[in-house]
Structure 1
Amino acid sequence: MKQVATFNRARLIFMVVICLTYREVQGQYGQVAGAWNITYQDGGNEQQLTISNDIQYVDLVIHNVDLTSGADFYFEVHASDPKLASIEKRIERSELTGTPASWQGPVPVQTRHFGFTSIYVTLNTSDGANAERSPDDLTLIIARRDRLDEKIFAYTASALLLLMFLNLGGVLDLERLKAIMLRPIAVTIGFCTSYILMPVLAIAIGYCFLAKHQELHLALFFTALSPSGGLANICAIFLKGNVNLSIATTTINSLMSLAIFPLWILILVRTIFTNTELDVPFLDLAGSALALVCAIALGMLARIFLPKTTAYIFRFLKPFCACVSLGLIAMTVGINAFAFKELTGMIYLAALFLPICGYFLSYGIAKLLRCSAADALTISVETSVLNMTVPIMLLQHCFDEVRADMTLIVPITAALNSLAMMIVIYTVRRIFGWNKNLDGDAFASKVELISFDEHIKEEIIVSHISYQNEKTAL
């Protein structure tokens, strides 16, 4: 019985193989209409469309068709990814002309989402007995339309960032800053954790979660390499860190990015991203760094020559900078909301582990090198609070529009995760009573960020004394 069962199983497998082989031979390319193929009418191998509710057209050519077989067939045009574009076009044999026969004309395309897809053509016999696919596919690039609000956002965000750094410059303690620069141990640690630890982490995490997607891996690396920006300074204020060290580290890292970015890109092109052409937008980076330095310098001058003005800055620094930072994040996410359609579990995990690992490793390194608690906290915040503006600029400079749009989700998600991590840390510190000044000189002048004017305080004290006297008299 076992031998019969084994024989029947073997016969069944053999019949399946024969059927599949017969079906493959039956649909073999070139049997019905010769070695036909497709091209775009302009002769290229790719064409770009934009996302639109209107029907757009692609000029397609089917050529080198052999009509001598006498078989009744027709062609159908397809898009390989229906989520990006849909195509419904049928071309009858009677529409072909010439010897060898060919057809050329517009093919209607309904675009749905940005990205890359391909156009291919199938040849089908009327009896359904045979089907062939074109040997070559054509690349269809679907891009987003240029929107005015993105350009308006870029200028608005730049202005708000400069205003925020102007305010931060106004709260710098020059004596404290001088001491930091004369003994730059903490600044050096912050520089090394930002430009050595974080890029290495991004490469390692990228290999774990994004190894099959080189563009996303590069986007994660750019996110780790970019200087933290003003959001890290605001987080340092809320977490009672060393604000002078935070601003000094942000400024130095922004200036040093002009040298560090080309060095890292040279290493990457020769080792990891060998098939990717990378370039550094020197003018954009230099302009951003120069604007940051000028804004901070103006704030420092205002503190020296307009002390009353800086007193108001102290009073409203925390809510103002928090509102500006959250507003910029909200605008960036809103403008690039389309990118969230590209979010996957692997992208989210990579964007989650990068700030978390960066925070704890940089804090541990700072403590091992005997930094104070306030300085270690500040260094870890500067390292792990991720910037989304600079990596977006780098991606748009290195990639074409569509590839840049497909990778924007990485810096956006990583920056949001780093902000969420700061909120969790702040909440935990407040609940357990840990959110206190760890270093009495860390924040210049020891002035409350939201306080009353001196004359208002005096009026309150006088009123309180009068009330106590009246109460005693009664």
Structure 2
Amino acid sequence: MCPLYPVHLVLMYGALVVCVWTAGIGAVVASVSEVALLKVRLHINDTPVDTLDIQEDEEKMVIFYLDDFPLQAAGDIFIKDENYDKLNHLEIQPERIPLDSLSKEKPDPYSLSGSFNVSGNFLGFTQVRLVLSDGNDQELMASEPIKVKVQRGQRVLDKIFIHVIILMVIVAYVNMGCAIDLKIIKETLRRPVAPAIGLASQYLFMPLVSYLIGYGIFYDTHAMWLGLFLTGCSPGGGGSNIWTYLLGGSLDLSVTMTFISTVTAFAALPIWVYSLARTIVQDGHYTNLPYKNIAMLAIGLVVPLSIGLLIKWKSERVALVLKRLLKPFSILFIVFIMTFGVYANFYIFAYFDWKVAVAGLLLPWLGFAFGAVVSLMCHRKLEEIIAISIETGIQNTGISIGVLKVALQDYAPMGDIAVVIPIAVATMTPIPLTVAYIIKRVQECRGKAGNLKVEVPFDKDDNHALSASATPLHKNASILA
């Protein structure tokens, strides 16, 4: 008969066995998973570096030094790209270096040196580790993660796009100068109700709504939030004048509002940036705002318009020809931006998730809606409603891009990633305007078709009615005769 042990002794014995078993398993797991630290120093062009900073399409040779290296070690050194966003930011050659091919630097403490090449493929952040393997995929030692920044390089395609856009904008404004009426502009400035509505919508509603949208969508991605907010703080873009003309709005009012909002940006932009931008990214550089770019925008608006007005004053015939060319040239301008512009900035689609898409849609669309509603409440004419609505919704994304480049210059390529937002806004903005223009053209074609039907010869019933109605006139004529 087996002796009966007290219950508490059985429980103590079981707990002891479990603890010993758990400790043993933990030691085995620790011995398997624990990897010793590999001490690494990096040099580029004989300069020690802690971070690898390269541009797209750029290649750099990195020399590494392995300090306090164990004499008995054998195997290979792997350079591993630990990429967590699934974007191919860089290319490493070679990825595997045999230990016996490394150079021996000094015997005590033992140190080895070697090199590998790093090429930038796509902007963003990643990190690499140097790992000592035994040759059978067993990691023995590993370095601390080495941060890598891949910045967007200056491409020829980008320069071509920018210069072509500048040229097309100048030509468009010269044509607009031939189409505007200075008397209407003077009357608008004399009673600036419509410009005041546009200015309030531009610099009160748009900054606030962009801040709120960014808070709701990009609260955990501050660079994107800042990009959206700065886009909402920017003045009206030159595209607003073209779209206003195509959609039948008041071109005179649109040009006037664009000039006023550009000049007002000298005061409004720093006020918003200093008040709210620091609540998004506190350590950004906000003192060097692109006032030079804003001044160039104002000059780039006034000078071509003045040339157009001068042509109109000197030759009405030439001005009429240029005015007729404004619509087809505007369509060409928009098609160029929506095709070549998208191709030149195609990289943004790598970061184009649902958040970027929603932000790119909401900001201009809410601007269009707010400008239209406020104009209706103020009982403005249809032409003015169209102009105010478009001027409110279209932002000059070039200004926001310039501010982002300066504010986040010490955190590159964060600025290039944040630029995705203003580019997304510029890409999404023409969608509702294009739909509206197509609807307008369809209605115009139907109206022309209706006018053609009116000019068709009368049928038999119409001739019979006309002759019947003409009979009394003839009778009266005979009586009078």
TM-score range, shorter chain: 0.7 to 0.9
The Cα offsets for residues 236-286 of structure 1, whole Å up to 9 and x where unpaired, read as: 122221211111011111122222222222113443221322331222221
Q: TM-score, normalised by structure 2?
A: 0.77
CA 300–388 in structure 1, closer or farther in 2 if over 3 Å, else same: same
Question: d(CA) in 1 for partners of 2:226 and 2:23?
Answer: 44
Q: TM-score, normalised by structure 1?
A: 0.78
| Contact 1:118 1:140 survives alignment (8 Å) | yes
Larger Rg: 2
| Contact 1:388 1:412 survives alignment (8 Å) | yes
Alignment of 1:63-462 (within 5 A): 63-65=67-69, 67=71, 75-81=77-83, 83-87=88-92, 88-92=95-99, 95=102, 97-124=106-133, 131-135=140-144, 137-278=145-286, 279-400=288-409, 402-429=413-440
Question: d(CA) in 2 for partners of 1:305 and 1:17?
Answer: 96
Question: d(CA) in 2 for partners of 1:130 and 1:315?
Answer: 72
Q: Hey, what does 1:37 align to over in structure 2?
A: 39
CA 226–20 in structure 1, closer or farther in 2 if over 3 Å, else same: farther
Secondary structure of 1:170's counterpart equals: helix
Percent identity reads 22
One of 50, 61, 67 as aligned partner of 2:65: 61
Secondary structure of 1:43's counterpart equals: strand
Using the TM superposition, name which of 342-351 and 154-163 deviates more.
Answer: 154-163
Opposite residue 209 of structure 2, the aligned amino acid is L
Question: d(CA) in 1 for partners of 2:374 and 2:400?
Answer: 25
CA 21–295 in structure 1, closer or farther in 2 if over 3 Å, else same: farther
Using the TM superposition, name which of 275-284 and 185-194 deviates more.
Answer: 275-284
Question: d(CA) in 2 for partners of 1:12 and 1:175?
Answer: 94
Give the drift of 1:202. Answer: 1.2
The Cα offsets for residues 307-351 of structure 1, whole Å up to 9 and x where unpaired, read as: 222222332221122213332443332322233222222111111
The Cα offsets for residues 12-71 of structure 1, whole Å up to 9 and x where unpaired, read as: 9998997567524643354xxxx542231222212233444x97532222224455xx56
| Contact 1:429 1:435 survives alignment (8 Å) | no
Q: Hey, what does 1:3 align to over in structure 2?
A: none
| Contact 1:339 1:405 survives alignment (8 Å) | no
Q: Which runs of 5+ in 2 are unaligned?
A: 1-16, 448-481
Equivalent pairs, count:
420
| Contact 2:225 2:280 survives alignment (8 Å) | no
Question: d(CA) in 2 for partners of 1:29 and 1:14?
Answer: 24
| Contact 2:76 2:96 survives alignment (8 Å) | no
Opposite residue 64 of structure 2, the aligned amino acid is L
Question: d(CA) in 2 for partners of 1:20 and 1:207?
Answer: 45
Secondary structure of 1:100's counterpart equals: coil
Give the drift of 1:114. Answer: 2.4
The Cα offsets for residues 287-318 of structure 1, whole Å up to 9 and x where unpaired, read as: 22112112222222322332222222332221
Give the drift of 1:210. Answer: 1.9
CA 15–417 in structure 1, closer or farther in 2 if over 3 Å, else same: farther
CA 142–230 in structure 1, closer or farther in 2 if over 3 Å, else same: same
Question: d(CA) in 1 for partners of 2:394 and 2:365?
Answer: 10
The Cα offsets for residues 122-148 of structure 1, whole Å up to 9 and x where unpaired, read as: 34456877644323x222222344333
Q: Which runs of 5+ in 1 are unaligned?
A: 1-10, 437-474
Using the TM superposition, name which of 229-238 and 109-118 deviates more.
Answer: 109-118
CA 230–72 in structure 1, closer or farther in 2 if over 3 Å, else same: closer
Question: d(CA) in 1 for partners of 2:307 and 2:446?
Answer: 31
The Cα offsets for residues 200-251 of structure 1, whole Å up to 9 and x where unpaired, read as: 1111111222222222222222322223323211211222212111110111
Give the drift of 1:406. Answer: 2.5
Using the TM superposition, name which of 82-91 and 223-232 deviates more.
Answer: 82-91
CA 409–423 in structure 1, closer or farther in 2 if over 3 Å, else same: same
| Contact 1:27 1:131 survives alignment (8 Å) | no
CA 385–129 in structure 1, closer or farther in 2 if over 3 Å, else same: closer
Question: d(CA) in 2 for partners of 1:120 and 1:154?
Answer: 39
| Contact 2:356 2:421 survives alignment (8 Å) | yes
Question: d(CA) in 2 for partners of 1:344 and 1:103?
Answer: 44
CA 286–12 in structure 1, closer or farther in 2 if over 3 Å, else same: farther
CA 132–302 in structure 1, closer or farther in 2 if over 3 Å, else same: same
Using the TM superposition, name which of 83-92 and 167-176 deviates more.
Answer: 83-92
Work out whether 1:27 is the aligned partner of 2:46. Answer: no
Q: Hey, what does 2:454 align to over in structure 1?
A: none
Question: d(CA) in 2 for partners of 1:205 and 1:170?
Answer: 40
CA 293–205 in structure 1, closer or farther in 2 if over 3 Å, else same: same
| Contact 2:285 2:406 survives alignment (8 Å) | no
Opposite residue 351 of structure 2, the aligned amino acid is E
Question: d(CA) in 2 for partners of 1:308 and 1:251?
Answer: 27
| Contact 1:51 1:145 survives alignment (8 Å) | yes
For the aligned residue pairs, the C-alpha RMSD in angstroms reads: 3.4
Opposite residue 27 of structure 1, the aligned amino acid is S
| Contact 1:227 1:254 survives alignment (8 Å) | yes
Question: d(CA) in 2 for partners of 1:130 and 1:291?
Answer: 61
Using the TM superposition, name which of 420-429 and 229-238 deviates more.
Answer: 420-429
Secondary structure of 2:285's counterpart equals: coil
Using the TM superposition, name which of 199-208 and 18-27 deviates more.
Answer: 18-27
